[in-house]
């Protein structure tokens, strides 16, 4: 009998049991997400989602996002988000580096700088 390709793959390295292995599960446990929200989000482009988040955030503070340099911070915000997903969606550091299209050395630097594991702690 051969292995079925859609079976859940086990991580190649052991992960901390005090760490979330899914951003969706973490947000659901914090009551910040549910099935309906995730379905609605899946229908949006990333650009629409970011625009909507900025609009809703600005509305909450009377349309004044002054002092928050969105243009300068956007690359860092995007890298942090992609790194968080890569940490939960890959099985090894090599696989993570390949997914991100960077070397293992660059990955180590990024992990140190953005610390996705800190966000995923339970």
2-17 pLDDT, tens digit per residue, is 555 555 555 544 556 6
Q: What pTM, to 2 d.p., does this model score? A: 0.73
Three-state secondary-structure class, residue 53: helix
Residue 121 to residues 81, 89, 105, Cα–Cα distance (Å): 15, 16, 24
The reported pLDDT for the residue numbered 9 is 57
Is the pLDDT at 41 greater than 50, yes or no? yes
Average predicted confidence (pLDDT) for the chain:
85
DSSP H or E segment with residue 10: none
């Amino acid at each position: 009998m051969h292995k079925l390709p859609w079976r859940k793959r086990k991580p190649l390295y052991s992960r901390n049991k005090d760490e979330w292995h899914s951003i969706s599960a973490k947000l659901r446990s914090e009551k910040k997400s549910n099935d309906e929200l995730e379905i609605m989000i899946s229908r949006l482009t990333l650009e629409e989602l970011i625009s909507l988040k900025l609009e809703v955030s600005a509305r909450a503070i009377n349309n004044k996002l002054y002092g928050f340099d969105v243009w300068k911070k956007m690359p860092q915000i995007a890298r942090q988000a992609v790194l968080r997903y890569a940490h939960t969606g890959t099985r090894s550091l090599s696989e993570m580096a390949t997914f991100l299209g960077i070397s293992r050395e660059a990955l180590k630097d990024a992990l140190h700088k953005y610390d996705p594991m800190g966000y995923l702690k339970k």
